[in-house]
Every structure is written in structure tokens, then in C-alpha cells.
Structure 1
Amino acid sequence: YSFNVAASHSDSPTFKIKENAEIEIKGKYTQLNTEGYGGMLCATWFDRPLSIAGRVLIQDDNSYITKLLNIDRDLVLIPNVAIHMNRTVNDGYSYNKQIDMLPLFGGSDTKAGDLKKLVAQELGVNVDDIYGTDLYLYNRMEPSIWGANEEFISSPQLDDLQCAYASLQGFLNGFNNKSINVYACFDNEEVGSGTKQGADSTFLYDVLKRVNNALGKTEEDYYRALASSFMLSADNAHALHPNHPEKTDINNCVYLNEGVVIKSHAGQKYTSDALSIAVFKGLCKQAEVPVQFFANRSDSLGGSTLGNIAMAHVSMNSVDIGLPQLAMHSSYETAGIKDTYY
């Protein structure tokens, strides 16, 4: 037997709220103290409705219970500085995350502790029962389908929820009686994957090993299964930018609505090699899905993804794929309508 693995990631660049959150400004404003999570395009976070979501740990007798939180209303905003006060901003500006990127939470009636009171109210618990939080900002703008022929979609967090969604649909609809289908959605890819729930952990290894043991297989069976297994490392790819075609490789560049992207890198930032590319091309041909090829310009560094990190713990043939998009790591990204279906 073997494993068919489709791996993606769930996180996107944003801002995490610090424990002591409220900052009072001259008794008239209350900001929230945040720090950056991942490499975001800071300019895209200004002047738009934001709110707060995450998890809260509640004490319940002698245990702690996790409650998910989404304050489902426009709650905070990061205001820009007027151009009259920053005349050279359009000539290039270096954003300071401790100064420029703090969201406005309230006016003079807001006091320290009000955020925790709001969280408690949303969850229907007492403030004193809150023992821990992982809270983040998120963009409240609704997704938009647009273009001359309605061929584009813009939305927060397309990287990498677009691949995560498509992979999940494939997992739910697919069946193979010779292999075990595995849907792997890791967290913390945007900050290096080095967490217990990231690709650079034993999580995938542990799950596959436990599956092997539950089937009554031996350790030798497990290693043989890995040797014949295959993984799709699915993370979005940079489409050619219409204003800056020079930013991409001259002929290994990709476009919206023209198919799934196969990503390669000589320095092995991507897992794709001739064998895995051939297998994936064959699958796409059977499914009548077009493929595109992406490589970084040889004189510039590109990003990496979760595939080669996960393969350091669970070695199997793997190909790095993705869907083409514009404005990666913006708070509002753009992709092609057709590519999700592909």
C-alpha cells in the first residue's frame, strides 16, 4: 500500500494582538498593540474594515477549554497618515510595525481591559475565566468577482486557502483502493513551519505511522509504503504582473486562468523533479487540466514553501504545485476563476 498526500497551509500574513493590548493616546484614542505575523504587504492593511478572530482558553473547573472567537462586525481600522502630513509617501515609505500599523480600537470612552471584556461578552464567559488568547486581525472586505468577463476573483487569504479548499474537495471526492488518501493542512507556513502543527514537525510522520500501526502493518511495511507514496505540495504561485512583467522569468512565467502551476527550483526550495513532474503532468492530462511551469528569475531570490520542509521528516516523491495569483501577501489577493476548478 502507499499514501497519496495533498498538503497545503491554513495561515496567512496578518497582525497578532499582544497580551496587554490597549494603548491610550492622550486620553482620546485607544489603539491595540500588535505585532506582524508573516511577511505582509503593509500598505494593503490601511483604511479598510478589520476585526478580530482566533481562539480563547477558558478555565472550566480543573481544565481549560478552547473556544473559537470571531467578532463578526467591523471593529478596528488602521488609519493612513494624510498626504499633507507625509508629502513623500508616494516616493517610497518604510512602515514601522510598532508605530504605523497599530489599529484604532476606540475613542475617549474606551479604557484598558475593554478588549478582554468584549471577548468575554462575545463568548458568554467571565473575564476572569479567560486564561489565554491567540487573537489576530482579519480583513472584513467581501470577496469580489470582477473583470470584463468576470474572470477574476479577489479575496483575503487566497494564499493558501485556495489550494486548501481545492485539495479538500479532491480528498472528499477521490477514491483509490490501492492507496490511502491523506489531506494535510499545516499551520505556520508563513513564519517558517517550525511549530508542532507546522510542516517542520513530526506531525505528518506521526499520523502516517499511526495509520500504519492501526492497519497491523510492520515497520518495514511503513518504510516501503513511504517509498511508493506521492505528495502534492500545494501552495499558490506568482502570476506574471501586468505592470511588471520583468519581475518574472522570461518564459517560465504563469498567468491567471491558464491552469495549475508546477514549481521548480535548482536549489531545491521546491520538491519538484523530473520524476514527480512527469507523474503530475500525466495526472493532469488524464483530467484534461492545463499545466503551467514556474521558475524564479535566476538573479533574484524567491519564496519557499512547505513541501521540502515536510519531506525532511517523511521522505516520498513530491511535486510543488499551486494556483497563479497576483498580489501575494496583500490583505486582498487576486486569482483566476477557472484555476480553482482546474
Structure 2
Amino acid sequence: MLDKTKALCAFLNASHSQYHARRYLTDILDSQGYTALREADEWTLTPGGKYYVTRGGSAVLAFRVPEGEALGFLISAAHTDRPAFKLKENGEIEGVCPRLAVERYGGQLLAPWLDRPLSVAGRVLVQTEKGAESRLLDIDRDLLLIPNVAIHMNRQANDGYKWNPVTDVLPLLASPESKGKFTEMLEKEAGGKILSHDLFLYIRQKASVWGLDESFLSSAALDDLECVWGCFQGFLRSSTGHSIPLFAALDSEEVGSCSPQGAASTLLRQTISRIARALSLDENRLLAQSFLVSADNAHAQHPNHPELADSGNAPRMGGGIVIKFNANLRYCTDGLSAAIMRTVCRKAGVASQDYYNRPDIPGGSTLGCISIGQVSVPTVDIGLAQLAMHSCYETAAVSDAIALEDAMTVYFGSTLRRTEDSFILE
């Protein structure tokens, strides 16, 4: 396995929640000399400086200041969350065996979650003498399982069964003798009394590289941690030109981005405003020379169901970076932004391919369409082709993950000069 792929798998295996993904990224930024900024403080930035800021425990924005003149921003945005089950407060349910009360977070495929070992990860708010302290929690053992109903008792299981979230997806916790011990176990792991929590179920299966030629990568949360990692590695590896490279890993995309740390929030725009102010530059002039790459995975043509893809624009795994188009602006790509992204790919020596939804199958949207309301700059929607999007275990191509790293290295190291309908990428 290539070192780049090993590094991606390590990130995937450590990021069992959006909170753990953020910590993994900021630990690397700390180790590479980036300075943490607090939103509550005044920012002092210096030429050549490296900085990051976080919000909500699950979003991080990192940027570098050019040594010379700063012309604008080269931004990427991806998201740290994934469809999952979120644990309710007062979540233990009595019955034949204790179970946990959960609610659906995002639009996940339900069937793959059943009959496999699960556990719990996220953040807890622990009572201390000085107030509440946020701590990360990851129960690193097989803890839960959502059991299927036997085919003998559910003859419709293979005939389009309709799942009932009230009854069908409650995870089994323990034997009847263990009633009431779940909170006790959580507090022991957290090291104190828990006042509240944001905890999610996750599957215990690790990321896997597989196939006759080891060309496939499967893991939980490839949508969108694969793009987070590719953009992040490109950001770290790049040089800095006259554009300010700005990497953004945001939260809440799977539920509409309407959180203080999501794309609909003020986080990206306020960060840009504060950078401009700290450098004594005009924010609007900087934005006039800026660009955003919205990176969120794309649907590959399914080998068993090729008819579900658009006949002329069906990306394949291993075919390179996917540029996503939609006439009704479910994706932000237009002619100018597509041309910029294709130029980046050409300079990086990586392939690109195009995606349109099949006209009678509406697709989802991305954080790019939401963030553009806060930061109105030319935006391209890209992704990596994958199968089983929103399953708890998804599949993509190893080579595409590497292609994204290479393309984003070129992107973040460039200087963009643009007018209304043309551009120069140096």
C-alpha cells in the first residue's frame, strides 16, 4: 500500500465523528507550526505566517499569509460529518434487552447498518469545578448491534421492505442484567459527570484497500472525509504564491449546513473579513480575485446498474477528479469555474471527468451552493467517484484519492488573476 493511501486510511480510522476528524487535522497543523487563533481574540497576522481557527469542535479553517502582495483567496471547502445515528439524551430503553434510543442524522442507507458491530463516538460536556468542559469520547470496542428480523418473520425483507425508524434501527446494548449501566460506563470513560453529549454510532470495520490489483478503497465516511483529506494534503504540501490558500473543513452538510460551524454560517466569511482587516487589505478587492473549490464526493456509474447514470456523463472510479454540473445550480459549476478546475488538473497531470444527474433522477446538493450565499466568488463543485454513497461503508478508487491530493497541491500553490470572463492561473 502506498504511503499516501496509508495516511488516508489512518485518518479515516481515527475519525469516528466530526469532532475526532477536526482534532486529527488540528494535531497535524500544530505539528507543522501553524498558530491557533481564537475567534474571541484580536488577530495579528504576519507575512509568511501559518494559522488556523476552529468553531464548534468540528470545523477548522487553515490559511497561510503570502510573503509579498496578497491578491485574493484560493479556498477549498469540504465537510467533516457523515450520515449516522445520533444518540438521544436519556437514551437507554428498557425491554427484553436494554437498547439505545437514536435518531437519524442525515439521509443514510439503513440496511447496511444492521447485523454488524457498532460503537459510539463524539463529544461529551463534563461537569468540572469551573464549569462544563468538552471532551472527545470514542468507546474503542464492539459495543452495540442493530439486529435484523429473521426472514421467517419478515417475508418482505427482500421485496422492498419499508424501514420504521421507531422500531427497526434501535441498537441492542446489553443483557437485561446490565440495565442502567450505559451512562455509568460513559462517565467512567469521560472522567466525570456528563451534562450533555453529541454522540453518534459508528461501524467498527476499518478502512480497507482491496481488489485483485488493490485498486479499491472502502471505508466509513468516504463522503466526505476523502475530500477533506485530499484538500488538506494539497494545502499542506503546496507552496504559497500571491493568493492566500485557505482550507475549510466544515460541519453539518448532511443536515443542511445550518449550524454555527456549517457552510450556511458566518464562519467562512468572517474568517476572510478578519484576515483582510489584519493585513490592512480591502476585503472586496480580495474576493474579486478569489475562487472556491467545493469538494464533496460524486456518484460513480454503478457496475450493476449503469442505466442509473447519465448516458454521456457517467464518472467511473479511477477516472480522475469529477467536475459536477447542474443547469438549475444544484451544483455551482459554470463555464469559467470548470475551465479553472480543468486547468488545475492539467497542470497537476491528473485526469478529470464530468458528472450530470440523469435528468429524471434528481441528485443532492453541496455545501458550495450554500457557502456561495456568504462568500460570492466563482465556485466549482468537484468530488471523487464512489459507490454506495450514504451507506455506512462506501467504496472509491485509490488512484482518485491520490489525484485529488496532487491537483489541490497545484491549486493551493497557484496565483489566480481573473476578470469577469477570463483568468490567468500562474
Q: Same fold (TM over 0.5)?
A: yes
Q: CA RMSD in A?
A: 0.9
Partner of 2:81: 11
Q: CA deviation at 1:116?
A: 1.4
Deviation at 1:19, TM superposition (A): 0.3
Q: CA deviation at 1:124?
A: 2.1
**Aligned match of 2:345 in 284, 298, 303?**
284
Separation in 2, partners of 1:230, 1:62: 43
Please name the residue that 2:104 is paired with.
36
CA distances 1:124-156 after superposition (whole Å, capped 9, x unpaired): 22xxx3211111100111222111211111111
The one-letter amino acid paired with 1:322 is G
Query: Is contact 1:193–1:306 with CA below 8 Å preserved after alignment?
Result: yes
1:182 Cα deviation from its structure 2 partner: 0.6
Structure 1 residue 224: Cα displacement: 1.1
Letter in 1 for 2:165: K
Contact 1:227 1:315 in 2 (8 A): no
Amino acid at match of 2:315: V
Equivalent residue in structure 1 for 2:245, among 152, 177, 181: 181
Structure-1 residue corresponding to 2:211: 147
Whole-Å Cα distance in 2 between the matches of residues 312 and 176 of structure 1?
A: 27
TM-score normalised by length of structure 2: 0.77
The letter for the 2-side match of 1:140 is R
1:262 CA displacement:
0.1
Does structure 1 retain, via aligned residues, the 8 Å contact 2:126–2:190? no
Deviations 1:165-202 (A, max 9, x none): 00100111112230111110110100000111110111
Partner of 1:116: 183
Aligned residue type for 2:141 = R
User: Which runs of 4 or more aligned residues in structure 1 lie more than 3 Å from their structure 2 counterparts after TM superposition?
Assistant: none
1:215-272: CA deviation from partner (whole Å, max 9, x where unpaired): 122xxx1011111101100000000001111111001110001100000000001110
Determine the C-alpha separation between the residues in 1 that align with 2:172 and 2:275. Answer: 48
1:234 aligns with 2:295: yes
Count of aligned residue pairs for this structure pair: 333
Question: What is the alpha-carbon distance in structure 2 between the residues aligned to residue 153 and residue 168 of structure 1?
Answer: 19
For 2:149 and 2:240, the matched residues in 1 are separated by 56
Normalised by the length of structure 1, the TM-score is 0.96
Residue 11 of structure 2 corresponds to none
Q: 1-side partners of 2:169 and 2:265: how far apart?
A: 31
Identity of aligned residues (%): 50
What is the rounded CA distance, in whole Å, between the counterparts of 1:225 and 1:142 in structure 2? 42
Cα contact 2:72–2:290 (8 A) shared by 1: yes
Match of 2:354 among 293, 298, 306: 293
Indicate which of 119, 134, 145 corresponds to 1:66.
Answer: 134
Of 306, 310, 317, the residue aligned with 2:371 is: 310
How big is the shift at 1:330? Answer: 0.4
Distance in 2 (CA, whole Å) between partners of 1:44 and 1:286 is 40
Rounded to whole Å, the distance in 1 between the matches of 2:392 and 2:360 is 27
